[in-house]
């Protein structure tokens, strides 16, 4: 077991209570994310999509808990493993699926694909194919919010691997010295592709790095949607109060490989099973006291929504090659 | 745009500062961000006095963090601001390349044309200051190789002001390359705000014997060379692309059709330099049929910029080199 897996004890002070209705909605979104990604995998196997994809199955609680604590006016920057963040942000599964299949009706007109889904109109400033690529951008969004004097925040999501990039250091330092309203949300899924966290850094918690920049740092159980929600909620309150950025580490795990080409030689089946026993969806369903039937029917609803999304995407037109030059310059 | 004739003369650095000041006065979304640009006034004095006029919220001093400076421009531009970043020396842009090349340049296309990144990144390039290999480079060609970026290189105070005001109003990321040796050069610049459209070259001097296409400080050196050559009866036509990419090459091609000979001059190293692009455009065009001499490049040697004053001088084209090369081409002595 990685050291950091035992370090899920630092909880934010005030754990805000969510209503059962809110938790039900969150559970449904988590199920929708899981079914979306399972369908994505199917479509890939059937040869209906090309390229690669990075699945977040197992990490749903972090995406849903974090987005749930923000408002529609806030901004999101996320990662290559970003389907979950987008759905949690309220993006439409059909427009995402169309993008995934490279169709003109997709969020990015088929030009971005799985790794670059964005919805700028909804303040989703996009997934990023470069590890730590979103962090410097979040500083600029924070500056923009301050210049416009609005009560917004920006949340930038990144992985454990990103915290070893220079951009992580430059960005958190800059956001700290200017007390910018930025939430740095680290999804620690224990591996940067094949590199385990405990071999890539000599500390127990990534959130310990916050101290180096003079900002708040917390580590939470990323498979506990309420814990994630509370941490982001508190970070948002601090940010809008002018108290600056927070570094939140969410410990979680991806069940699937890094991408489609990953044979997972770097970890054991037992380790994966240990984490599956802590599955965030099962956990929340149990917490809500759902029967097996209740759970099945919610999953069925999610499956139906995903099936409609696939139908929409398959019926959508391909981009016209005549438009290939569009969008390079405004 | 107003004519430069009959107006007061100011220096290139003053023209850049005036463009920044007038843009900030006209549009509260415009702000400056960079290293030592505040009370210090910028390493080359470009923003001198601007911190006092606009305050620290609009003239933002940063830690030494080039990736975050470029990224901050991208994020602010994506969310409704018009940032103008300064990279203290062009060489340091290497530290911000990821944000510039993979983020700023590509965001709009990757998002299906649904995002805009209206930012300007100003940076001084070029040699001649004795600053040696890591503070003297001319890296503009790299950015012409990245679709989504615009690359501007003004050669006069008049162009510097008009092109910078246009760059700040442009909806795309623009790399604005100033030249350290041009900062003290004076020229006529209208006081009122004006823009020069990006992408339009300028015929700096008319002539009939040879087309010299030159960028940045090489335009100034080509003008001095033209005076020498005129004494021998050789009249060169000087074309300044002003915007390296995207660049409307039709004026340049028409010029070569007229003169039948072309010489391309830039400071950056020769191999895979911007001159290769210009020569290709000439020989791919209808001007090919009118050529009666090889198209030649005069460029920096393929070396890092040396420290020694004499070596540094000989590393890049000087007036006498342009005179000699032009004379050879016109006289058929190639």
Test B72 with A143 for CB contact under 8 angstroms. yes
CB of A136 less than 8 A from some CB of B: yes
Nearest residue, CB atoms, B148 vs list A112, A137, A328: A328
- The ipTM, to two decimals, is 0.95
C-alpha torsion sign, points B73, B76, B80, B86: negative
- Cα separation, A87 vs A80, in Å, equals 14
Q: Tell me, what's the pLDDT at A259?
A: 86
Q: Is the preceding omega at residue B86 within 30 degrees of 0, hence cis?
A: no
Domain annotation covers residue A4 = no
Test A140 with B116 for CB contact under 8 angstroms. no
Which residues of chain A have a CB within 8 Å of the CB of B72? 136-137, 139-140, 143, 174
CB of A135 less than 8 A from some CB of B: yes
Going by pLDDT thresholds of 50, 70 and 90, the confidence category of residue B180 is very high
Q: Looking at the predicted structure, is the pLDDT value of residue A124 above 50?
A: yes
Q: Looking at the predicted structure, is the pLDDT value of residue B37 above 60?
A: yes
Percent of all residues in chain A with a pLDDT value above 90, rounded to a whole number = 90
Going by pLDDT thresholds of 50, 70 and 90, the confidence category of residue A208 is very high
For A104, the domain range is: 20-305
CB of A165 less than 8 A from some CB of B: no
Residues 177-196 of A with CB under 8 A from B: 177
Which residues of chain B have a CB within 8 Å of the CB of A166? 67
Test A147 with B76 for CB contact under 8 angstroms. yes
Q: Tell me, what's the pLDDT at B4?
A: 72
Shortest CA distance to B164 belongs to which of B177, B179, B180? B177
Mean pLDDT of all residues belonging to chain A = 94
Nearest residue, CB atoms, B76 vs list A143, A174, A330: A143
Test B147 with A328 for CB contact under 8 angstroms. yes
Average pLDDT estimate for B76-102: 98
Residues 247-306 of A with CB under 8 A from B: none
Listed range (A15-24, A154-163, B247-256) with the worst mean pLDDT: A15-24
Domain annotation covers residue A3 = no
Average pLDDT estimate for B90-105: 98
Task: Give the distance from residue A328's alpha carbon to the nearest chain B alpha carbon, in angstroms.
Answer: 5
Q: For residue B260, count other CB atoms closer than 10 A to its CB.
A: 16
Q: Give every CB contact of residue A153 below 8 A, 6+ residues apart in sequence.
A: A70, A74, A75, A145, A181, A182, A183, A235, A236, A239, A240
Choose from B59, B68, B96 for mutation: most chain A CBs within 10 A.
Answer: B68
Q: How many structural domains are present in chain A? A: 1
Q: Looking at the predicted structure, is the pLDDT value of residue B220 above 70?
A: yes
pLDDT by residue (tens digit) across B197-209?
A: 999 999 999 999 9
Give, rounded to a whole angstrom, the gap between the first and last alpha carbons of chain A: 50
Test A328 with B74 for CB contact under 8 angstroms. no
- What Cα–Cα distance (Å) separates residue B215 from each residue in A3, B255, B291, B296, B313? 57, 16, 22, 15, 18
Q: Tell me, what's the pLDDT at A6?
A: 37
- Cα separation, B52 vs B59, in Å, equals 9
Going by pLDDT thresholds of 50, 70 and 90, the confidence category of residue A14 is low
CB of A173 less than 8 A from some CB of B: yes
Going by pLDDT thresholds of 50, 70 and 90, the confidence category of residue A16 is low
Average pLDDT estimate for A39-60: 92
Task: Give the distance from residue A264's alpha carbon to the nearest chain B alpha carbon, in angstroms.
Answer: 29
Q: Looking at the predicted structure, is the pLDDT value of residue A34 above 70?
A: yes
Beta bridge partners of B261: none
Q: Which residues of B are catalytic?
A: 135
CATH number, position A45: 3.40.50.970
Q: Looking at the predicted structure, is the pLDDT value of residue B46 above 50?
A: yes
Q: Which sequence spans correspond to the domains of chain B?
A: 9-188, 202-331
Test A116 with B99 for CB contact under 8 angstroms. no
Shortest CA distance to A62 belongs to which of A179, A186, A171, A149? A186
Establish, for the pair of chains A and B, how many residue pairs have beta carbons separated by less than 8 Å: 156
Structural contact between residues A134 and A157, judged by C-beta atoms closer than 8 angstroms: yes
Which residues of chain A have a CB within 8 Å of the CB of B78? 120, 125, 137, 140-141
Task: Give the distance from residue A144's alpha carbon to the nearest chain B alpha carbon, in angstroms.
Answer: 5
Q: Looking at the predicted structure, is the pLDDT value of residue A18 above 50?
A: yes
User: Is residue B202 helix, strand or coil?
Assistant: strand
Instruction: Compute the radius of gyration of chain B from its Cα atoms.
Output: 20
Q: Tell me, what's the pLDDT at A5?
A: 38
Nearest residue, CB atoms, A140 vs list B63, B72, B110: B72
Nearest residue, CB atoms, A112 vs list B68, B102, B110: B110
Task: Give the distance from residue B269's alpha carbon to the nearest chain A alpha carbon, in angstroms.
Answer: 28
Structural contact between residues B51 and B59, judged by C-beta atoms closer than 8 angstroms: yes
Give kind and range of the element (H or E) at residue B176.
strand B174-179
Q: Tell me, what's the pLDDT at B7?
A: 83
CB of A239 less than 8 A from some CB of B: no
Nearest chain B residue to A168, by CA:
B68
Test B76 with A144 for CB contact under 8 angstroms. yes
Which residues of chain A have a CB within 8 Å of the CB of B62? 174
Nearest chain A residue to B147, by CA:
A328
Please state which architecture CATH assigns to domain B9-188.
3-Layer(aba) Sandwich (3.40)
Q: Tell me, what's the pLDDT at A299?
A: 97
Average pLDDT estimate for B298-320: 98
The answer to whether B9-188 and B202-331 have equal CATH topology is yes
Question: Is domain B202-331 in CATH 3.40.50.920, yes or no?
Answer: yes
Domain annotation covers residue A321 = no
Which residues of chain A have a CB within 8 Å of the CB of B108? 327-330
Nearest chain A residue to B112, by CA:
A108
Average pLDDT estimate for A107-113: 96
Shortest CA distance to A76 belongs to which of B79, B199, B269? B79
Q: Strand A191-192 vs strand A195-196: parallel, antiparallel, or unpaired?
A: antiparallel
Which residues of chain A have a CB within 8 Å of the CB of B112? 106-112, 327
Q: For residue A67, count other CB atoms closer than 10 A to its CB.
A: 27
The chain B residues in contact with chain A (CB within 8 A) are: 29, 31, 33, 57, 60, 62-63, 65, 67-68, 70-81, 83, 98-99, 102-103, 107-116, 118, 147-148, 150, 171-172, 246
Nearest chain B residue to A104, by CA:
B112
pLDDT by residue (tens digit) across A219-278?
A: 999 999 999 999 999 999 999 999 999 999 999 999 999 887 888 999 999 999 999 999
Please name the residue ranges forming H helices in chain B: 12-26, 50-54, 66-78, 97, 107-110, 140-144, 157-169, 217-231, 250-259, 274-284, 309-315, 319-331
């Amino acid at each position: 077991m990685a050291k950091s897996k035992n370090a899920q004890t630092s909880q934010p002070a005030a754990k805000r209570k969510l209503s059962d209705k809110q938790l039900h909605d969150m559970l449904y979104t988590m199920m929708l994310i899981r079914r979306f990604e399972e369908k994505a995998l199917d479509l890939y196997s059937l040869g209906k999509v090309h390229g690669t994809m990075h699945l977040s199955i197992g990490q749903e609680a972090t995406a849903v808990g974090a987005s749930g604590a923000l408002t529609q006016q806030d901004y999101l920057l996320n990662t290559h493993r970003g389907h979950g963040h987008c759905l949690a942000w309220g993006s439409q599964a059909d427009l995402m699926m169309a993008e995934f299949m490279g169709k003109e009706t997709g969020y990015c007109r088929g030009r971005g694909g799985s790794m670059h889904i964005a919805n700028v109109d909804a303040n989703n400033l996009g997934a990023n194919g470069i590890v730590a690529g979103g962090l410097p951008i979040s500083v600029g969004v924070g500056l923009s919010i301050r210049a416009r004097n609005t009560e917004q925040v920006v949340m930038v999501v990144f992985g454990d691997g990103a915290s070893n990039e220079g951009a992580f250091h430059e960005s958190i330092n800059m956001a700290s010295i200017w007390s910018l309203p930025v939430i740095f949300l680290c999804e620690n899924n224990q591996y940067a592709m094949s590199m385990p966290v405990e071999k890539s850094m000599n500390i127990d918690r990534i959130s310990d790095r916050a101290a180096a920049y003079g900002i708040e740092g917390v580590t939470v159980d990323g498979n506990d949607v309420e814990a994630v929600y509370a941490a982001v909620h508190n970070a948002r309150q601090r940010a809008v109060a002018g108290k600056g950025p927070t570094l939140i580490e969410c410990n979680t795990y991806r069940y699937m490989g890094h991408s489609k080409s990953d044979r997972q030689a770097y970890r054991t089946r037992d380790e994966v099973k240990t984490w599956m026993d802590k599955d965030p969806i099962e956990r929340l369903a149990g917490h809500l006291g759902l029967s097996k039937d209740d759970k099945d029917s919610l999953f069925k609803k999610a499956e139906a929504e995903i099936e409609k999304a696939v139908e929409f995407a398959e019926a959508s037109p391909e981009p016209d090659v005549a438009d290939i030059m569009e969008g390079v310059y405004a | 745009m107003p004519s430069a004739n009959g107006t007061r003369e100011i220096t290139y650095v003053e023209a850049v500062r005036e463009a920044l000041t007038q843009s900030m006065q006209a549009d509260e979304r415009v702000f400056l961000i960079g290293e030592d640009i505040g009370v210090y006034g910028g390493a080359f004095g470009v923003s001198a006095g601007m911190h006092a006029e606009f305050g620290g919220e609009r003239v933002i001093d940063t830690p030494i963090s080039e990736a975050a400076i470029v990224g901050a421009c991208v994020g602010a531009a994506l969310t409704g601001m018009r940032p103008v970043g300064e990279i203290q020396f062009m060489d340091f842009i290497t530290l911000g390349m990821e944000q510039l090349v993979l983020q700023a340049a590509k965001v709009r296309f990757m998002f299906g044309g649904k995002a805009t990144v209206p930012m300007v990144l100003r940076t001084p390039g070029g040699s001649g200051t004795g600053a040696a290999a890591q503070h003297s480079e001319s890296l503009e060609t790299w950015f012409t190789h990245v679709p989504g970026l615009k690359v501007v290189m003004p050669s006069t105070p008049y162009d510097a002001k008009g092109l910078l005001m246009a760059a700040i109003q442009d909806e795309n990321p623009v790399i604005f390359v100033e030249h350290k040796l041009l900062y003290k050069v004076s020229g006529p610049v209208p006081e009122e705000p004006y823009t020069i459209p990006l992408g339009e070259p300028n015929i700096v001097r008319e002539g009939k014997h040879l087309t010299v296409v030159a960028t940045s400080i090489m335009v100034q050196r080509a003008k001095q060379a033209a005076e020498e050559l005129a004494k021998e009866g050789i009249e060169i036509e000087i074309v300044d692309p002003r915007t390296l990419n995207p660049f409307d090459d039709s004026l340049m091609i028409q010029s070569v059709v007229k003169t039948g000979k072309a010489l391309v001059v830039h400071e950056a190293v020769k191999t895979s330099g911007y001159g290769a692009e210009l020569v290709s455009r000439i020989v791919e065009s209808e001007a090919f049929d009118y050529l009666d001499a090889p198209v030649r490049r005069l460029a920096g040697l393929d070396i890092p910029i040396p420290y020694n004053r004499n070596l540094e001088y000989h590393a890049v084209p000087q007036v006498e080199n342009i005179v000699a090369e032009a004379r050879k081409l016109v006289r058929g002595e190639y």
